[in-house]
Amino acid sequence: MHYRVIFKPAILLASILTGTVPAAEPGLGQIHEPSFEDVLSIARAHGPKIAPDGSAVIYTVRKTNWRNDRFDSEIYLARRRAKPLALTHTQDGSSSDPKWSPDSRRIAFLADRGSGRQVYIISTEGGEAVPITAVEAGVLAFEWSPDGLTMAILMRDRELRAISERVARYGRYRVRDAEYRMTHLWLLDVEKAKATNGGAKRSAGEYLPIQGELKESQGKLDGAAGPPLKRLTGGSGFNITGFLKIFSFSPDGKKIAFSHGRNPSLRWVIETDISIVDVDSGQISSVVTRGGHDGSPIFSPDGREIIFTTVNSDLRITTNIVMARTPVSGGEIEQLTAEFDEMAIPIAWTDQGIHFLGQQRTKQHVWTVDPETLEITKLTSRPSIVSAADFTADGREFAVSGSSSSTIEEIYRLSADDQEPRAITNMTAAVAGWPRHLSEVIRWRASDGVEIEGILYKPSNFIEGKRYPLLAIIHGGPIGTDWPRRLDADNFAYPIEQWLAKGALILMANYRGSTGYGEAFRSLNLRNLGIGDSQDILSGIDYLIEMGIADPDRLGAMGWSHGGYVSAFLATTSKRFKAFSVGAGISDWAVYYANSDAWFGMRSYFGATPWQDPEIYAVTSPLHYLRQAATPTLIQHGELDYRVPIVMANALYRGLRDIGIESKLVIYEGAGHTLESPRQRLASMDENWRWFLKHVWGEEAGQ
């Protein structure tokens, strides 16, 4: 049987020499069938920030650097009706997280140019970027003050002197759940920092250590060797952390609201409280202090209130994240999006209302809630999947990044009066010559009657009445979603474009537990992990077989993280498939509980620890059903994965081998829970291509 080799070592060698792999330019009317390298080399635009006065939009573009085996990003600037231009050019590194100055004339960003991640400032007119920090540990995050004269920066504290002394005598070791380096807020004088570090060019090692000796006293000036750097928070009693927006200035610049947990462990990144620090005195006051998650604080335009995200004092992972508000002095908490039955992700509070991102089934849009009436209005209709948004100071204009079934992620401008998106980028041009495979949203009933939705991808030359091999790709999470997109930006392991070109159907099921379908749907996973998920996927496969388009004798399934777990569950409970691929999947929940940094999530899903209820941990574990396994299984795992420790992969591999099932374990050295190296992603795609080619199509891939 003849087949086309997609993995191209010659192209890879050329890419290593040149540093990038541009997609081939097809001739007029020609179709270019992309290689793995082509897919991994698609540049991606994301994270738009619109100038406070609306004059321009900045965003980042991530490109593949094959020479250095990394993904690098640069910042682009697009003025009104003008072609975007590259604002930064970072040698062998990335520039990221750009933020406008309040006067819309300068842009600050983070970059590692040989001295750790530091804050740089560049004029909107271009020119040389000036470093304004040279701190030893690097900068984690920053925000401009409303007057543009100072910045709040988030840094990790130095190692405790007692630890350093211990290392000198005993060597390096750590005590679990006991020793942490906390992160705290500092205030930086921008102009003095710029004058000190932005003069004559110096090597990275000559930058002045403006952090100085980090003293524990708050409200004092540090850094005698450089410009003033004022510590705003300190001590070992709490750690400034969270997700989305960790801290923000009040409109008058006198206060900073921030979220914080007890320490940097994952549990206390999710379970957080909110406090406010007075910039002048360093006095800290608590605003929201209760169990569960409260974070992402943003001040109201008048500075009297803050909005924040909360899960209503409930640590259950399946609970909706809602927006709430409270006075800055603390007190009564009012929910704003309780009627919006999904996650509400805050963007900004302007004079036009409170803006947030919200998902509904397989679409995500920008919404606005009226702070007086709590009426919720949808602001966008296109693109259908908005991933990020940002508003002008008056809230009249905004920029979004988003994708759809016909486009990859693009940057758009919109206004409150005219919500028709105006494209700033044309990243989709890079795939214009690629086959236009078909996609549609389908629905079916699971075995217990629950309606399940999924994305079905068909080859561009699909023929009705013909049966095709069917590959199920299972998303992670389980709080995640598969979207009907032109190109899956989150995919880093599976050669989807190549499988479709070969004539396969791809099913991506939004099984119970997925985001976008409401809290009750996500809660169907409680004490039902693996069991309900796998039945949802099997019922979707049955639906496509009944439609007469899927071949029941050529089925495969795969996934990463929770998707890898469901794949492992199917591999040990079903004999219907020809091949499985398990990426960073869980094989034994009790062992996972004892080894993972996300152990607390299992208490949420199972309602108990493994010592309190060993039965529920057993019946949801793939290894519990190991002796039923009968299908060749590829296992892929990062060597340094702390979310799903590699013991999960080793146990599944050894178990399958012991009972005589063909299996292969690929360990990606130095990798964590996901693969961040382009070459390792290329290897993962190739491994999956070869595995399913052999076991579903009965072919051997060439070298």
Residues 525-560 pLDDT 10s: 999 999 999 999 999 999 999 999 999 999 999 999
| Structure confidence at residue 396 (pLDDT) | 94
pLDDT at 30: 66
What's the one-letter identity of residue 458?
K
List residues bridging with 506 in a β-sheet: 457, 471
Cβ partners under 8 Å of residue 171, min gap 6: none
Q: How far apart are CA 377 and CA 395, in angstroms?
A: 14
pLDDT band at 228; cut points 50, 70, 90: low
Burial zone of 316 (CB within 10 Å; 0-12 exposed, 13-18 middle, 19+ buried): middle
Show the tokens assigned to 401.
Answer: 């990044």
**Which domains are present in the chain?**
435-695 (3.40.50.1820)
Return the axis-axis angle of helices 562-573 and 531-546, rounded to nearest 10°: 70
Looking at residue 246, its pLDDT comes to 93
- Which of helix, strand or coil describes residue 393? coil
Residues 6 or more apart whose CB falls under 8 angstroms from that of 95 comprise: 60, 73, 74, 75, 88, 109, 110, 111, 120, 129
Q: Whole-angstrom Cα distance, residue 162 to residue 37? A: 49
Alpha-carbon span 272 to 293, nearest angstrom: 5
Q: Identify how many contiguous H helices and E strands the chain contains and give both numbers.
A: 14, 38
- Cα distances (angstroms) measured from residue 158 to each of 118, 173, 234, 235: 16, 17, 12, 12
Compute the distance between CA of residue 109 and CA of residue 369 in angstroms, rounded to an integer. 30
Least confident of 39-48, 481-490, 664-673: 481-490
Residue 136 has what pLDDT?
83
The pLDDT value given to residue 6: 32
Which tens digits make up the pLDDT trace of 395-415?
999 999 999 999 999 999 999
Whether residue 112 is predicted with pLDDT greater than 90 in this model: the reply is no
- H/E stretch holding 649: helix 647-658
- Please classify residue 255 by burial: count the beta carbons closer than 10 Å to its beta carbon, then call 0-12 exposed, 13-18 middle and 19+ buried: buried
Determine how β-strand 363-369 pairs with β-strand 344-350: unpaired
pLDDT tens digit sequence for 257-294: 999 988 888 887 788 899 999 999 999 999 998 888 89
Per-residue pLDDT, 443: 97
What H or E segment, with its residue span, contains residue 594? helix 589-595
Residues 525 and 336: their CA atoms lie apart, in Å, by 26
Q: 3-state class of 605 per DSSP?
A: helix
Q: What is the pLDDT of residues 294-320, one digit of tens each?
A: 999 999 999 999 999 998 655 567 888
State how far the Cα of 51 lies from the Cα of 393, in Å rounded to an integer. Answer: 8
Contact 424, 382 (CB under 8 A): no
Q: Give pLDDT tens digits for 159-193.
A: 777 788 888 888 988 888 878 888 999 999 998 88
| Whole-number Cα distances in Å, 571 to 389, 587, 627 | 40, 11, 11
* Beta carbons within 8 Å of 315's beta carbon, 6+ residues apart: 270, 271, 291, 292, 293, 600, 604
Angstrom distance (rounded) from CA 255 to CA 282 = 9
Terminal Cα-to-Cα distance of the chain (whole angstroms): 16
